[in-house]
Amino acid sequence: MNQRSTRSPRDQAEHLRRLHHDDAILVLVNVWDAASARVVAATPGCSAIATASAAIAATHGYEDGENIPVDLMIDCLRRVCQAVELPVTADLERGYTDVGATTSAALNAGAVGINLEDDLCATETMEERIREAVDTGRAYGIPLVVNARTDVFLRRPDAAPEQRDAEAAERGGRYLDAGADCVFVPGCTAEQHVRGLVGQFGPGRLSLLAVPGTADVSTLQQWGVARLSHGPFPHRHTLHALDAYAREHSELSPTAPRQG
């Protein structure tokens, strides 16, 4: 099972960081276990692997939102990292109470990048999470890649567009100053908002979620987006496919009695 890269963790982290600044946008089809990681890693053009917290939680029977025991989540992350040779970035949600300890566990598991989300907490709280994660990576000699998520567009749907833009730009700018590499703004899809945030953050700094209404990859690349994640949707698609397969191949028919 162990497929760890011959690159050092430092080299993998630096490679992952460079992928955010390449001419080609970094597209991440998120995974939830070793099998899904191997399938995605074998896809032509795949250059990195990202986990999805919601998918990992659902796989083990938990709701998303740090309900899965952190040790179980880290064990799943370790299996993903051992299954592939590509750099892995891990969704750590809000840090599972202790950002430093969780980041340390993720690094020990083999991850070289992480997602941290603000859940619209006080900006200062998120800045501290980012600094703690970066400092933990530095203690390991690993230039940890931090994707800092803000939920402004998801959690403030009724706010005026200019207010959401301003808050996302302010939060994201402060997160970058705290040491994040890029800012993840799920729910941001319209061209004017995407271009505006790219202008605020600079090239190679904006990360988006692939949802209905999101522009195609080539267009996002032209707009200056650094990274596009698919989040929980690959896992949901897989479950829908399993449901369809199970229905198609069920041996029990509601109209035909069992023989014997």
Residue type for 195, please? R
**Residue 238, C-beta contacts closer than 8 angstroms, at least 6 positions apart:** 36
Residue 32 · residue 55 · CB < 8 Å = yes
Residue with tokens 């596009």: 228
Among candidate residues 7, 5, 18, 20, the one with its CA nearest the CA of residue 224: 20
- State the DSSP code for 3: -
- What confidence tens digit (pLDDT) does each residue in 2-57 have? 555 678 999 999 999 999 999 999 999 999 999 999 999 999 999 999 999 999 99
Torsional sign, CA 229, 231, 233, 236: positive
pTM: 0.93
**pLDDT > 70: percent of the chain:** 95
Considering the chain, what is the average pLDDT of its residues? 95
Contact in structure between 114 and 146 (CB atoms under 8 Å): yes
